[in-house]
Amino acid sequence: MRIGLLGPADGDEQALREAVEFVLGDVEVDQAIYLGADDDTIGRVIRAWAREIIGSDPTEDVFLNRAVQLAVAGTPEEIEELLGAEASLRRLSTIRKLPPPPARAVEMLADRFILAVHDKSVLDEEDIANANLIIYGRSEEAQLKRFGPRYFLTPGPLRDGKVAVLDVEDDGQISIALFDTSGIPVWREKMARRTSKVNVAQ
């Protein structure tokens, strides 16, 4: 499982489009999470991209009507093109946005509990105590900080051209990486393994 993390775009649709293209195409994430509070920006980017793929309004009816037409009278090349468009639309459907505050997004990655919010100041002690990795969007720069067994991660604003990627490696460990959207890796770190507490009776 590989998750891409996109910081707030602050209305910059071009920067967001480039970041989405990078995590979906180059990094091949299974899911991407947009950490901005401006839901309209990610919505516009996805709708515009979907229109490019389909060539018209990306509704289910439009796609199904086109599929019926090609099934009856389409060439193999046209059918293959439509199937490719369907695959591209499925990739776009892997992009998630955060729920409206004060709600939080939660994920399980391997054996770790991940909590994602736009602004980490809305979290209380119980939220933090129950999470292994806290991901947030509101920040002036990319950061990864560890406090005891917990990690706090933000990819920073997209104007800096950075995205973060969480990856479950073959040994079950989770790696956290920061990339420039041009493809250059900035840093990478593995989360510490979980340890069991053992009480020794005296």
CATH number of domain containing 170: 3.60.21.10
Place of tokens 């995590």: 23
pLDDT at 194: 67
Say if 138 falls within a structural domain.
yes
Cα separation, 97 vs 106, in Å, equals: 12
> Exposure string (b/e) for 161-178, b if CB count within 10 Å is 16 or more?
bbbbbbbbeeeeebebbb
Query: For residue range 3-20, what is the model confidence (pLDDT) as tens digits?
Result: 999 999 999 999 999 999
Say if 126 falls within a structural domain.
yes
Domain count, the chain: 1
Q: Is the pLDDT of residue 86 over 70?
A: no
Say if 181 falls within a structural domain.
yes
Neighbouring C-alpha atoms within 13 Å toward the C-beta of 79: 9
Of residues 184 and 69, the one with the higher pLDDT is 184
Of residues 200 and 189, the one with the higher pLDDT is 189
Say if 52 falls within a structural domain.
no
Say if 168 falls within a structural domain.
yes
Say if 140 falls within a structural domain.
yes
Of residues 124 and 33, the one with the higher pLDDT is 33
pLDDT at 60: 62
Residue 126 CB burial class (10 angstroms; 0-12, 13-18, ≥19) = exposed
pTM for the structure as a whole: 0.81
Say if 200 falls within a structural domain.
no
Query: For residue range 125-176, what is the model confidence (pLDDT) as tens digits?
Result: 888 888 999 999 999 999 999 988 899 999 999 999 999 999 998 888 899 9
Say if 80 falls within a structural domain.
no
pLDDT at 141: 95
pLDDT at 159: 93
Confidence of residue 192 (pLDDT cuts 50, 70, 90): confident
Residues facing residue 180 across a β-bridge:
162
For residue 148, the enclosing domain spans 2-39+98-190
